[in-house]
Amino acid sequence: MMSWWWLPAVAGLSLMLAGSLRHYAQARDLVDVPNARSSHSTPTPRGGGVAIVVSFLLVILALFLGGTVEPSLAWALLGGGLAVAALGFFDDHGHIPAGWRLLGHFCAATWALAWLGGFPPLVVLGMELDLGWFGHIGAAVYLVWLLNLYNFMDGIDGIASVQAITLCLGGALLFALLATEAASRSATILLLLAAAVAGFLYWNFPPARLFMGDAGSGFLGMAFGILSLHAAWQAPVLLWSWLILLGVFIVDATFTLLRRLMRGERVHEAHRSHAYQAASRRHGGHLPVTLGVMVINLAWLLPIAVWVAWGGLDGMLGLIVAYVPLVLLAIRYGAGGREAP
């Protein structure tokens, strides 16, 4: 079993690696220079999310070799997560065409699903449904969309890091409700991921001195997708709880994408039309929005997710209750609207 000193050790390793990556990015001119579609105003090194990937996967490998992490989850995270991070790393250093990136993402998702056992049974209105191959295909799309939306939502200082930490803490609480040895190990994995992100957050907190980059954001999206499906294999209702916890990112990214698709825009191109980006302009900076996401996650989404996990509220109904105010916020801030010339 893991000793608790691993948490500060992982956070410290991530902190130091991120600092080294900042110097590396500056030396290689891997710097995001502000332009008309940027949400920042200062040239900032990128690619620091590699610190999260390395520090977290190293401890997962150590725990796997020690028999603490089950092989299916370990290989899903190590293979799928590392593949997505590598694609992001090379894209941060140059450019990989969108089609090739998407193919790589689906290959990584297929690998992860093969180890996880595919899509778990889905509980809808109290009935457990096995969707078969439709579920497996949907799960692959889910993983690919989640890793890409996490990249889309990493557009202002600290937001992706704060989202990750609150999601890890909420997910760990959900696992704790199961009160099983397997759930306890899963909660530990989430706390280790939170520690890895916390070390990076030192550099990424507004005003950021280092950006996550595609390697880090894509990895986190894939990792959370894997962990949510792994949770659903332990208790099917937990998939609804995880979707609720992911609500801020899912609603903003999906609402924005759909509106842009309806106008025929190229959705893979950079833009500033997400609700969180509009909110940062309206409220005079990144910090109020990043802290606002934290408050929404902890004060609104987490209680509903716990209520669903306890069985006090149907999962689909809980998702609707959780998402309606988020959709209204997206509408209020004009998510996906035309950008001013």
Neighbours of 230 (CB within 10 A): 25
Q: Which residues of 188-201 are buried (b: 16+ CB within 10 A; e: fewer)?
A: bbbbbbbbbbbbbb
For residue 265, pLDDT over 90 is answered with no
The DSSP-derived string for 125-162 is TTEEE--HHHHHHHHHHHHHHHHHHHHHH--STTHHHH
Q: Which residue has the tokens 């020690």?
A: 66
pLDDT at residue number 187: 95
pLDDT at residue number 136: 93
For residue 239, pLDDT over 80 is answered with yes
pLDDT at residue number 126: 77
If you average pLDDT over residues 209-229, what whole number do you get?
Answer: 97
Kindly report the pTM of this predicted structure.
0.95
pLDDT at residue number 264: 81
Q: What angle do CA 303, 309, 315 make, to 5 degrees?
A: 90
If you average pLDDT over residues 119-131, what whole number do you get?
Answer: 84
pLDDT at residue number 315: 96
> Tens of pLDDT along 141-158?
999 999 999 999 999 999
For residue 326, pLDDT over 80 is answered with yes
Helices (H), 205-285: 213-234, 238-245, 247-262, 275-282
Helix (H) or strand (E) holding 71: helix 71-75
Tell me the domain boundaries of the chain.
43-332
pLDDT at residue number 72: 96
pLDDT at residue number 263: 85
Provide the pLDDT confidence category of residue 1 given band limits of 50, 70 and 90. Answer: low
pLDDT at residue number 35: 65
Q: Which of 5, 4, 53 is nearest to 196 (CA)?
A: 53
If you average pLDDT over residues 74-96, what whole number do you get?
Answer: 94
For residue 298, pLDDT over 80 is answered with yes
Give the whole-angstrom CA distance, residue 67 versus residue 286: 42
Question: How far are the Cα atoms of 17, 26, 41, 51, 187 from residue 21, in angstroms, in the given order?
Answer: 6, 8, 21, 8, 29
